[in-house]
């Protein structure tokens, strides 16, 4: 059973929709009649089923502005989803339903409406009498009431289903009004409780404020603090100023240090010393340099008029000497001054760094004190804010106690249904027709696929493969004859005529010097008989080689024909234990060459591959017009899949009334899955008496040949 189910499931991998359409067309009339009967039955049942009506309403439950339940929830934030779910739970709660069932007027109204419901004879016979009491009404309200939330909103959709539209509407109205009453009563109770808890909490907060203020004052007194904010800012400014002085001094120190290094390198060279900017820009040095420049100009002028010994020129040279001496003295004085300034700067930097460290430590101390004070300040401010908040809650609670209203707003009032939601006889009729049609078709399809066998050539039209032969059922074989070589022994039989027809189709449809594999789904379907008789018919006009490729099964030909020497076959060729010429034999009384399976037994795919087998067949095609390969069946072994890839044409045989549909479809799919294809279908063992065309053909066929036989004789 499991195997059959798996084969049925695998149909969509092996079949096609032509086959489905063929089964549908074949059984369409019966399917329609059966489906129509089921649909009518469903329609009649629907007419007698109790009708159901639905009343719908849309409401909004807005969030509560002052949602105080207890002190712990004062500052909690309820998510929209949780809040809506809570309201839905309240709508369905027993407390809300109790308001309805305890209302005498509502109970009488429900009883009146239930008494007016009209019931069919079938319902009166099958249903028990209903007692309309509190428990029944509560049970109906609980079971038939539905609530759904519109996503990401506060909108709720309410539904109530009943066997009377007026009851549905009344129930929905009652639930809405009961919820409003429950909500107001609950608010009053909650408000009274909240008021008590808030008053108690206010007393505690007053005590907390006093304690926090006292702690702050004690801390200020202990640390001599009044307002640390301004002191802290001044200290920060002081630290920044000291840091800036240190940075400027270090820069100046570095510059003067560089100048002294340059002076050392100059080693008394006046020009090199004057290249130093600080020396060059001194006022005394600039004045002397200007005087030297003026004196030099005067010397040049006097040199043009007087000789070197002239008193005026000598006086000018003497003045130049004095100026150079004075310049040298000023430069030395500037160098000494720079060394002194460098020493002062170094001391200034060290003092400033000590001052910076001290100021930083003082700032840290101020911040520590300030941190402690801020803690007490926060406690005071927090307590005051809480006190103000609770004081505001007291006012709001007093106002809420004076005026309590429901947060529920009705967008759409409960509707009065005009048409029932169930049953729907017309819809049920169509649905019953459709489902039963599909169900019956599924059963028929399963039966056809897993139990049906081929009975006529039209059954394989869905495969889209050409038929190259139809072999009639051989009811009785003459004594001494054998089906394996029927074409030789009884050439005028219906079977032999069908072989000729198949031969004619193959010769016209396929080319010569080709290899032909004949296979089937399972053993005992007649492929060997067909393949051998086809080879015998082709041998009349062509050179033919028949190869028995079923290596795993003992040779049929070897046991059928009695050869006078050891028979070597395909198994020996593949294993290399025999040459081709040693394995070819002649069928007695014919020119047909055969190669049997031989004596070796093995799995072909373990020894050779597709390319090797194909090369072997291609070699044989050079010598023979037709190479007919009788392969093993597809389902039991894998050898056929190797052979199918190596041959030119693949012929598939189906045994009428024996090969199941799912079996031959699966076998064909296997061959196609390895990249090969089926080039022709042969139907074997067909009962031609059941088909008028084939019955006529095969009944009159022998007399046709008898007529020409007598004429020729």
Among candidate residues 690, 680, 681, 688, the one with its CA nearest the CA of residue 472: 688
- Please give the share of the chain, as a percent, with pLDDT higher than 70: 76
| CA of residue 256 relative to chain centroid, distance | 75
pLDDT at 702 > cutoff 50: no
Predicted local distance difference test score (pLDDT) of residue 74: 39
Mean pLDDT of 614-641: 92
> Chain-wide mean pLDDT for the chain?
78
Report the C-alpha gap between 175 and 158 in whole angstroms. Answer: 10
State the CB neighbour count (10 A cutoff) for residue 327: 20
Our measurement of the distance from residue 516's CA atom to the centroid of its chain's CA atoms, rounded to an integer in Å, reads 48
* Other Cβ atoms closer than 10 A to 708: 9
* Distance (Å, whole) CA 652 – CA 643: 13
Q: Taking the C-alpha atoms of 516, 521, 524 and 525 in order, what is their torsion angle to the nearest 10 degrees?
A: -70
Containing 524, the helix (H) or strand (E) segment is: none
Is the distance from CB of 410 to CB of 176 less than 8 angstroms? yes
Q: What is the pLDDT of residues 62-109, one digit of tens each?
A: 776 554 444 444 344 456 677 788 888 888 888 888 888 888 888 888
Distance CA 288, CA 398 (A): 99
Q: Compute CA distances 303 → 80, 289, 290, 318, whole Å.
A: 110, 21, 20, 14
The C-alpha atoms of residue 662 and residue 6 are separated, in whole angstroms, by 11
Strand partners of residue 409: 60
By the 8 A CB rule, do 260 and 302 touch?
A: no
Q: What is the largest CA-CA distance in the chain?
A: 177
pLDDT of residue 5: 47
Contact criterion met (CB below 8 Å) for 428 and 42:
yes
- Calculate mean pLDDT across residues 556-580: 77
211-247: pLDDT as tens digits: 877 777 777 677 766 555 566 677 788 888 888 888 8
Say if CB 135 and CB 143 are below 8 A apart. Answer: no
pLDDT at 327 over 90: no
Crossing angle of helices 661-673/2-9, nearest 10°?
Answer: 60
Long-range contacts of residues 151-154, Cβ cutoff 8 Å, at least 24 apart = 152/80, 154/60, 154/61, 154/62, 154/63, 154/80, 154/84
| 383 vs 297, residue with greater confidence | 297
Contacts of 588 (CB under 8 A, 6+ apart): 561
Contacts of residue 567, defined as CB under 8 A and 6 or more positions apart, other chains included, come to 555, 558, 585, 596, 598, 599
As a whole number, mean pLDDT of residues 357-380 equals: 74
Unique residue bearing structure tokens 């190259």: 468
Of 57-71, 452-466, 572-586, give the lowest mean pLDDT range: 57-71
Q: Work out the average pLDDT over 199-220.
A: 73
10-14, 500-504, 515-519: range with lowest mean pLDDT: 10-14
Higher pLDDT, residue 690 or 170 = 170
Which of the four pLDDT bands, split at 50, 70 and 90, describes residue 296?
confident
Given this model, what pLDDT does residue 158 score? 92
pLDDT(703) > 50: no
Q: Which residue has the higher pLDDT, 712 or 665?
A: 665
E runs forming strands in 423-569:
467-472, 514-520, 544-548
pLDDT at 603: 83
- Residue 47: what pLDDT? 79
Predicted pLDDT of residue 510: 93
> What pTM, to 2 d.p., does this model score?
0.47
Phi, psi of 222 (to 5 degrees): -65, -35
More confidently predicted of 378 and 512: 512
Could you say which architecture CATH assigns to the domain 42-196?
2-Layer Sandwich (3.30)
**Distance from the Cα of residue 506 to its chain's centroid:** 52
**CATH number belonging to the domain at 468-706, selected among 3.30.420.40, 3.50.50.60, 3.40.50.2300, 3.40.50.300:** 3.40.50.300
Angle at 360 between CA 355 and CA 361, to 5 degrees: 100
CA dihedral 296, 298, 301, 307 (to 10 degrees): -90
The SS3 call for residue 471 is strand
The token pair that represents 209 in the structure block: 């404020």
Three-class secondary structure of residue 334 per DSSP: helix
Cα distance between residue 670 and residue 632, in whole Å = 14
* pLDDT, mean of residues 150-178: 88
C-alpha torsion sign, points 470, 476, 478, 480: positive
- Catalogue the long-range contacts made by 668-674 (C-beta closer than 8 Å, 24 or more residues apart): 668/14, 668/463, 668/465, 669/13, 669/14, 670/634, 670/635, 670/641, 671/519, 671/634, 671/640, 671/641, 671/644, 674/641, 674/644, 674/645
DSSP 157-210: EEEEEESSHHHHHHHHHHHHHHHHHHHHHHHHHHHHHHHHHHHHHHHHHHHHHH
194 band by pLDDT with thresholds 50, 70 and 90 = low
Is residue 690 scored above 90 in pLDDT? Answer: no
Half-sphere exposure of 177 (CA within 13 A, CB side): 13
Residue 158's closest CA among 56, 44, 45?
56
DSSP codes, 83-135: HHHHHHHHHTSHHHHHHHHT-HHHHHHHHHHHHT----HHHHHHSPPPP--HH
pLDDT at 701: 40
Contacts of 683 (CB under 8 A, 6+ apart): 454, 457, 460, 467, 469, 470, 471, 653, 654, 656
Per-residue pLDDT at 627: 96
Q: Would you call 201 exposed, middle or buried from its count of C-beta atoms within 10 A (0-12, 13-18, 19+)? A: middle
Whether the per-residue pLDDT at 400 is higher than 70: the answer is: no
Is pLDDT above 60 for 633?
yes
Q: Is the pLDDT of residue 506 over 80?
A: yes
- Whether the CB-CB separation of 55 and 414 falls below 8 Å is answered with yes
Residues of the chain above pLDDT 90, percent: 17
Q: Is the pLDDT score of 18 beyond 70? A: no
pLDDT at residue 509 is higher than 90? yes
Q: Which residues pair with 59 in a beta bridge?
A: 156, 410
Top-confidence residue, 186 or 88:
88
Confidence (pLDDT) at 630: 93
* Secondary structure (3-state) at 497: helix
Residues constituting the chain: 713
Contact 453, 657 (CB under 8 A): yes
Q: In the structure, what pLDDT confidence band is assigned to residue 280 with cuts at 50, 70 and 90?
A: low
Task: Tell me the domain boundaries of the chain.
Answer: 1-41+434-452, 42-196, 228-402, 468-706
């Amino acid at each position: 059973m499991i195997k059959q189910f798996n084969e049925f499931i695998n149909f969509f991998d092996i079949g096609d929709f032509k086959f489905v359409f063929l089964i549908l067309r074949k059984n369409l009339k019966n399917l329609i009649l059966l489906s129509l009967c089921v649909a009518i039955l469903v329609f009649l049942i629907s007419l007698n089923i109790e009708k159901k009506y639905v009343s719908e309403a849309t409401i909004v439950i807005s969030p509560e502005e002052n949602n105080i339940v207890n002190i712990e929830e004062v500052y909690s934030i309820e998510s929209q989803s949780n809040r809506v779910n809570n309201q839905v739970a309240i709508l369905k709660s027993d407390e809300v339903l109790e308001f309805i069932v305890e209302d005498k007027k509502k109970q009488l109204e429900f009883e009146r409406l239930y008494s007016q419901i009209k019931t069919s004879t079938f319902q009166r016979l099958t249903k028990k009498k209903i007692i309309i009491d509190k428990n029944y009404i509560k049970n109906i309200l609980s079971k038939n009431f539905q609530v759904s939330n519109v996503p990401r909103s506060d909108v709720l959709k309410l539904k109530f289903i009943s066997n009377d539209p007026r009851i549905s509407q009344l129930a929905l109205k009652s639930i809405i009004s009961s919820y409003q009453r429950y909500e107001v009563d609950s608010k009053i109770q909650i408000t009274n409780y909240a008021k008590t808890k808030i008053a108690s909490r206010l007393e505690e907060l007053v005590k907390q404020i006093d304690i926090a203020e006292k702690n702050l004052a004690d801390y200020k007194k202990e640390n001599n603090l009044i307002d640390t904010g301004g002191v802290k800012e001044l200290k920060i400014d002081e630290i920044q100023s000291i840091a800036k002085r240190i940075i400027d001094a270090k820069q100046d120190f570095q510059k003067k240090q560089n100048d002294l290094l340059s002076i050392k390198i100059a080693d008394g060279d006046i020009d090199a010393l004057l290249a130093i900017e600080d020396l060059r820009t001194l006022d005394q040095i600039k004045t002397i340099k200007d005087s030297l420049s003026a004196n030099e100009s005067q010397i040049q002028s006097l040199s043009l008029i007087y000789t070197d010994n002239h008193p005026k020129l000598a006086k000018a040279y003497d003045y130049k000497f004095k100026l150079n001496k004075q310049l040298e003295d000023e430069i030395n004085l500037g160098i000494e001054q720079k060394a002194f300034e460098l020493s002062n700067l170094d001391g200034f930097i060290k003092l400033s760094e000590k001052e910076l460290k001290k100021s930083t430590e003082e700032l840290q101390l101020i911040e520590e004190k300030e941190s402690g004070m801020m803690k007490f300040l926060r406690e005071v401010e927090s307590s005051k804010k809480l006190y103000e908040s609770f004081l505001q809650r007291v006012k709001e609670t007093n106002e809420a106690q004076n005026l309590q209203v429901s947060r529920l707003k009705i967008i759409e009032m409960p509707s009065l249904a005009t048409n029932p939601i169930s049953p729907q006889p017309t819809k049920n009729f169509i649905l019953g027709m459709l489902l039963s049609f599909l169900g019956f078709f599924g059963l028929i399809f399963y039966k056809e696929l897993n139990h049906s066998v081929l009975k006529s050539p039209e059954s394989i039209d869905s495969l889209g493969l050409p038929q190259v032969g139809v072999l009639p059922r051989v009811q009785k074989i003459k004594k001494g004859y054998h089906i394996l070589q029927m074409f030789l022994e009884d050439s005028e039989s219906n079977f032999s005529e069908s072989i000729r027809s198949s031969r004619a189709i193959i010769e016209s449809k396929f080319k010569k010097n080709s290899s032909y594999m004949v296979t089937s789904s399972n053993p005992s379907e007649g492929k060997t008989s067909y393949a051998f008789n086809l080879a015998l018919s082709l041998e009349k006009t062509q050179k033919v080689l028949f190869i028995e490729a079923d290596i795993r099964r003992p040779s049929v030909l070897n046991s059928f024909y009695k050869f006078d020497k050891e028979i070597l076959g395909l198994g020996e060729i593949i294993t290399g234990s025999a040459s081709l010429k040693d394995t070819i034999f002649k069928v007695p009384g014919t020119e047909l060459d055969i190669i049997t399976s031989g004596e070796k037994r093995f799995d072909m795919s373990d020894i050779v591959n597709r390319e090797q087998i194909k090369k072997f067949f291609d070699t044989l095609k050079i010598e023979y017009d037709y190479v007919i390969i009788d392969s093993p069946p597809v389902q039991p072994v894998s050898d056929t899949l190797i052979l199918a890839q190596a041959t030119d044409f693949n012929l598939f045989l189906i045994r009428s009334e024996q090969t199941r549909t799912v079996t031959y479809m699966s076998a064909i799919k296997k061959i196609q899955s390895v990249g090969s294809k089926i080039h022709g279908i042969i139907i074997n063992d067909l009962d031609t008496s059941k088909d008028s065309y084939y019955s006529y053909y095969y009944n009159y066929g022998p007399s046709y040949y008898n007529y020409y036989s007598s004429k020729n004789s």
